[in-house]
Amino acid sequence: MQHMPVYSTVNNGYYYNLSTTRTRSNAVNKHYEETIMKLRLQYTATQTHTHMNKEENQYHHQTKIDRNTKKRILIVDDEPDINLTFKIVLEDNGFKVDSFTAPLLALENFKPILYDLVLIDIVMPSMNGFGLYEEIRKLDNKVKICFLTATANYYYYESFGKEAFPDLDTKNSFIYKPIGNDELVKKVNQILMMDDDDDDDDDDAS
């Protein structure tokens, strides 16, 4: 028979020796040794996790400005495959992306001044792209908006868009599907850079 200390856990995993006088059998000793080992491993894991959290918080603090300078894009396309592909490609190239397959849901969750660019499919159920464009413009008249359409239909939609929305820059307001990943990123960057250039011109004029 051996005298084994009795342990308990209190206050964030710290272990205290409560007694050294209780006599225990070998089987109980083995059980206690295994239990204490588990408790110590748990404590070590807790301390390691705490340390990692501190390092992670420092990392988030250091990269906060970088994250905030990322351009944010909203994608609204009822075709899930295209929606997901565009989202992945743009995120892989440094953009922050929100996406919806339902135009009404996208409108319900839209927040003014949050997005730098909105990509809208034209042919969608419940609300077409031009209708969604009008509703978004009521909420945010500065966000850049670009329409997604099949190549076969672009002549019609360009003409219609220019007639229905005279202020629409048709040259830079349409992305034609299908489109390669690199070409998509290039087109998005062109649109966003034009927006930045316009803002710089306005600042110079003022």
Q: Domain-by-domain residue ranges, the chain?
A: 2-65, 70-205
Between these two residues, 129 and 160, which has the higher pLDDT value?
A: 129
Instruction: Report the range of poorest mean pLDDT among 47-51, 75-79, 155-159, 175-179.
Output: 47-51
Burial class (CB in 10 A: 0-12, 13-18, 19+), 189: middle
Q: Look at residues 157, 166, 114 and name the one whose alpha carbon lies nearest to residue 136.
A: 114
Distance CA 113, CA 138 (A): 12
Considering the segment(s) 70-205 as one domain, its CATH architecture is 3-Layer(aba) Sandwich (3.40)
How far apart CA 83 and CA 100 sit, in angstroms, is 8
pLDDT digits (tens, 9 = 90+) for 105-156: 999 999 999 999 999 999 999 999 999 999 999 999 999 999 998 866 766 6
Question: What is the number of alpha carbons within 13 Å of residue 155 lying toward its C-beta?
Answer: 1
* Spatial separation of the C-alpha atoms in residues 56 and 64, rounded to whole Å: 12
* Mean pLDDT lowest among 1-15, 83-97, 167-181, 185-199: 1-15
pLDDT digits (tens, 9 = 90+) for 22-54: 444 565 556 556 665 666 676 666 666 665 666
